[in-house]
Chains A and B, each alone.
Chain A
Amino acid sequence: DAGVIQSPRHEVTEMGQEVTLRCKPISGHNSLFWYRQTMMRGLELLIYFNNNVPIDDSGMPEDRFSAKMPNASFSTLKIQPSEPRDSAVYFCASSPYPKNTGELFFGEGSRLTVL
């Protein structure tokens, strides 16, 4: 079975540009999570969805960040405008919900560099 698929794997952009990261969760998983990983702050939960509905977005840094889940098989995380401090690895993870085991299944991440 395919795992969580993220694209792009690497993105280099200039400050002020819009960045869109994409995620396809594992089929049948109804919870989706966006995490950000940096050396300074470790793994931070940005937002998560249950059944395509955002449940907790308290980790979203500021209004420049937005996330959507238009259907059960696709989610986007958008940064507009991007800033150098947004440089990080962004992970998407999915989990079966409500029948879940607590385990998150992670994608391989999208490494973002903002110059």
Chain B
Amino acid sequence: AQSVTQPDIHITVSEGASLELRCNYSYGATPYLFWYVQSPGQGLQLLLKYFSGDTLVQGIKGFEAEFKRSQSSFNLRKPSVHWSDAAEYFCAVGALAAGNKLTFGGGTRVLVKP
């Protein structure tokens, strides 16, 4: 069975500082990996996704993530956070063969200090 672990429940970062959110997955085959962001009271929005190819993927809002097969990780990064990046971030793993059935991690809530 597939699973996703996000070790950090909360992260507080100063505006302008860098941000890294950790994600580890368990999946029996080549995974399809995603990062979603959820602002308060809203649904989830896709930040970026990895299917194959270059292991460093770029997303919206200046985010990037790196797939490391040897570590079963897909960490999300941003060089300089903005106050508007305060939100909850979810890592997810899935397989197209399963009809887009995604399994989500528990989420990491990011607080941005001025």
Question: Could you list which residues of chain A lie within 8 angstroms of chain B, going by C-beta atoms?
Answer: 4, 31, 33, 35, 42-43, 45, 48, 50, 55-56, 91, 93, 95, 97, 100-104, 106-109
Contacts and interface: CB of A to CB of B under 8 A. Distances in A.
Contacts of B49: 101-103
Q: How large is the interface on B (under 10, 10 to 19, 20 to 34, 35 or more residues)?
A: 20 to 34
Contacts of B103: 45
A43 B105 CA distance: 8
A102 B100 contact: yes
A102 B32 CA distance: 8
B42 A108 contact: yes
A45 B101 contact: yes
B99 A103 contact: no
Given A33-B102, A42-B104, A106-B43, 6 more contacts: A42-B105, A50-B99, A56-B101, A97-B99, A97-B100, A108-B43
A100 B101 contact: no
B90 interface: yes
A50 B90 CA distance: 24
B41 to A, nearest CB: 8
Nearest to A92: B43
Given A42-B104, A42-B105, A102-B34, A48 B99 contact: yes
B108 to A, nearest CB: 11
A8 B100 CA distance: 25
Given A42-B104, A45-B101, A102-B32, A4 B96 contact: no
Interface of B: 32, 34, 36, 41-46, 49, 51, 90, 94, 96, 99-107
B96 A100 contact: yes
| Most-contacted residue by chain B among A42, A56, A101, A102 (CB, 10 A) | A102
9 contacts: A43-B90, A43-B104, A43-B107, A45-B102, A93-B44, A102-B49, A103-B34, A106-B45, A108-B43
Contacts of B32: 102
Contacts of A95: 100
A95 B44 CA distance: 13
